[in-house]
Amino acid sequence: MKIKYVIIACIFALFLITSLPSLSSDFAIVQAEEPSVTTNDASNITTTGATLNGKLTDKGASDNITVRFQWGLAISYGSETTTQVMTTTGTFDTSISGLSPDTTYHFRAIADGTSYGEDETFTTTKTAPTVLTNDATGITDTGAILNGNLIDKGASDNITVRFQWGTTSSYGHLTTTQVMTNTGTFDISISDLTPSTAYHFRAIAYGDDTGFGSDKTFTTNRETSAPTVTTDDASNITTTGATLNGNLTNRGGADNVTVSFEWGLTTSYGSETTTQLMTTTGTFNAALSNLSPSTTYHFRAIADGDGTSYGEDETFTTETNPLSVTTSAASNITTNSATLNGNLTGMGMTNNITVSFEWGTTQGGPYPNKTTAQTMTTTGVFSDSLTGLDSSTTYYFKTKAIGNNTSYGSELSFQTKAEATPPGGGSEDSILGDLDWKVLAIIGGGVLFVIVLLFTMTRAKARTVGGTRQGGIRQQPLGTQQTSTCPKCGATITFGSSPCPNCGTPLNWGSQQTSTCPRCGATITFGSSPCPNCGTPLNWGSQQTSTCPRCGATITFGSSPCPNCGTPLNWHT
């Protein structure tokens, strides 16, 4: 019997031995079909909450895996998050809230309720202070005051507060810190900002944890620098008036600036001129009237834009004896010159006055010409001479006096004389100039006598010397008929005819006229052809020319005087 049981036991043991590899393999397959999961560190930890993180690393044999977390104050946990279904491996997380500040919690990830991640812990933060961001104040073009309110210190007795700020919600700048032992408002100033620019800021409170206020914005003002202005010397000072002058040198941050002057008997001023609007820099002025003679006044310029600025204090004294000058009639008037006259009747407030004349050909000005300035130390008459004027021309002039201001006399005029014309005409271009016509007549008669004498002598010589030049007169060969000009009326007449068919004047053509051959230069009798010297046929034309016995210029036969030198010519023998 015992042998029977032994045999059965051996057979069973053998079966187990032969089956063990197969059972081990099946067990491994079962084990491999379970999902696997890991527990990752918690994140977003606050005083009352946190985010639990896990990762499904293998789904096992299932297509859908449910995951969740167990968590609590110990490794027995006690609480579970809601489940999530995952169809692929990867990370997963769940947020928990309602936690206690400064407390340690345990948690682990679970997959399908059969696979567990390792245990992890996290500790909630201590109670953070609570802080609010209030609106910025004191905003200028380059600065502002940031404001906050610490409403709860949390678990800390001392709270450090400050602000983050910048041109975006990423901030980028931190203010200095302040330590607060009690709740309440706080502020910190910032500077060196850019005009007309938007800025973000928020309050921060550091205690057992860090509290942040909400984001707020403000925009800096446009540039608000005040304009700059200078006070210039007064001008046009009289016994009862003056012109105040200023210069707007910079508009500051304003596009439009109003300017004016304060003025009075003291530096308290007491009076102000009408304001003027300026859109660009530059000078400006204002006229005062009804002032007291011989009185000193104070004044200064004012400019009002993005702020108000003042020029320096200046003074002026009204005149006792005003500067005055009168214009007197011109004298010594000729064809090309005249003397201008004036009278300085008042010196004004200075001992030296510069006087001169302005003149031209346009009534009422402008006067493009000015005489040399003269300095006068007392009142009285003065004058200046003009030369190089045009004849028969009207000129306008007036006096000018410069002292502590400028004064002008009234406008007067004069007309230069006409050029004298001798009887029978004449020209200022004559070599005899502007000599009296009687003198011209005497000189002309003498010249005419000499010409006739020379002409006669030359003809006599020409008769004795064949082939030579006769009389020095040369006619140009110009055609088949010869004409000349009547010496009295200027009419064209046939050469040799007499009297003039136009005016009846008897004409003496002389006994013989000669000319010069255009080819060989030989002297030939007027009208002959061919040339007796070279045989060249000659065409005498309709007009003859000769040569002036004085200057040698070529002239039309019969014309007088010579158009080049003005010498009277007698074409008779």
C-alpha to C-alpha distance for 191 and 126, rounded to whole angstroms: 35
Q: Are residues 448 and 552 in the same domain?
A: yes
Q: Are residues 444 and 550 in the same domain?
A: yes
C-alpha to C-alpha distance for 181 and 158, rounded to whole angstroms: 5
Q: Are residues 490 and 539 in the same domain?
A: yes
Q: Using alpha carbons only, what angle is made at residue 389 by residues 383 and 395, rounded to the nearest 5 degrees?
A: 70
- Answer yes or no: is 145 within a domain: yes
Q: Which of 70, 97, 123 is the last residue of a domain?
A: 123
- Answer yes or no: is 20 within a domain: no
- Answer yes or no: is 51 within a domain: yes
Q: Which amino acid is at 84?
A: Q
Q: Are residues 517 and 534 in the same domain?
A: yes
Q: Are residues 104 and 179 in the same domain?
A: no
Q: Are residues 441 and 550 in the same domain?
A: yes
C-alpha to C-alpha distance for 382 and 367, rounded to whole angstroms: 19
Q: Which of 62, 92, 123 is the last residue of a domain?
A: 123
Give me the CATH number covering residue 346.
2.60.40.10
- Answer yes or no: is 31 within a domain: no
Q: Are residues 471 and 549 in the same domain?
A: yes
- DSSP SS3 for 293: coil
C-alpha to C-alpha distance for 544 and 566, rounded to whole angstroms: 19
Cis peptide before 537 (omega within 30 of 0): no
Give me the CATH number covering residue 97.
2.60.40.380
Number of independent structural domains in the chain = 5
β-pairing, 276-278 with 314-317?
unpaired
Q: Which among 382, 405, 390 has a CA at the least distance from the CA of 237?
A: 405
- Do 107 and 120 touch, CB atoms closer than 8 A? yes
Q: Are residues 72 and 116 in the same domain?
A: yes
- Answer yes or no: is 561 within a domain: no
93 burial class (0-12, 13-18, 19+ CB within 10 angstroms)? middle
For residue 447 the two structure tokens come to: 């010249």
Residue 529's pLDDT is 77
Predicted confidence (pLDDT) per residue in 176-197, tens digit = 999 999 999 999 999 999 999 9
Residue 423's pLDDT is 56
Predicted confidence (pLDDT) per residue in 268-286, tens digit = 999 999 999 999 999 999 9
Q: Using alpha carbons only, what angle is made at residue 31 by residues 26 and 33, rounded to the nearest 5 degrees?
A: 100
Q: Are residues 533 and 448 in the same domain?
A: yes
- Answer yes or no: is 306 within a domain: yes
Residue 558's pLDDT is 65
- Answer yes or no: is 21 within a domain: no
pLDDT tens by residue, the chain, 573 residues: 556 665 676 566 566 555 554 444 444 444 557 899 999 999 999 889 999 999 999 999 889 999 999 999 999 999 999 999 999 999 999 999 999 988 999 999 999 888 999 999 999 988 889 999 999 999 998 999 999 999 999 888 899 999 999 999 999 999 999 999 999 999 999 999 999 999 999 999 998 889 999 999 999 988 778 899 999 999 999 889 999 999 999 998 889 999 999 999 999 999 999 999 999 999 999 999 999 988 999 999 999 998 899 999 999 999 887 789 999 999 999 999 999 999 999 887 788 999 999 999 999 999 999 999 999 999 999 999 999 999 999 999 999 999 888 999 999 999 999 987 655 544 444 444 445 555 666 777 777 777 767 766 665 554 444 443 333 334 334 334 456 667 777 777 776 677 878 888 776 655 445 666 777 777 777 667 788 888 877 665 544 666 777 777 777 766 778 788 887 876 543
Q: Are residues 285 and 339 in the same domain?
A: no
- Answer yes or no: is 13 within a domain: no
374 forms beta bridges with 355
Taking the model in full, what pTM does it have? Answer: 0.34
Residue 13's pLDDT is 57
Q: Mention every residue, 6+ apart, whose C-beta is less than 8 A from residue 307.
A: 224, 225, 226, 227, 252
Q: Are residues 348 and 388 in the same domain?
A: yes
Q: Which of 123, 148, 167 is the last residue of a domain?
A: 123
Q: Which residue range is the domain that position 59 belongs to?
A: 36-123
Q: Are residues 96 and 155 in the same domain?
A: no
